[in-house]
Structure 1
Amino acid sequence: MQNAELGEVIVEFVRNGTYVKCNAVHTATGVEVSAMGPALEPRAVERVAIAKLKRALATRR
């Protein structure tokens, strides 16, 4: 996935029952974060993971 602010980000979803885990990896730095939430709202969980990734990258700079 290409993000306008971050560049290339790999996003992975793993469903476990009623929950989904979203992993987001920034390809340029290798920083990885994850977020969990309801399986019925995977895009919302993805937004949380991307927001966490932005915060993680901001603390590294």
Structure 2
Amino acid sequence: METRPHQRKAVDAVLRALGLPVPQPPQARCRRTQVVMATGSGKSLVAIRSAEKLHAGCGRAA
């Protein structure tokens, strides 16, 4: 799914807030932030794209 301009801007803000990924142990990568957007504006897509770019994952067992 293609991201819209406001969603790309939100992804960029998430990346700035959390910092760009650097090689670290999984526990050190477990950072959090909040994204506040209007209903129906694509928060889930922003979360997915942000996670992809950050290679997210805390390495915790499910």
- What TM-score results when the alignment is normalised by the length of structure 2? 0.30
More helix by share: 2
More strand by share: 1
- Max radius of gyration: which structure? 2
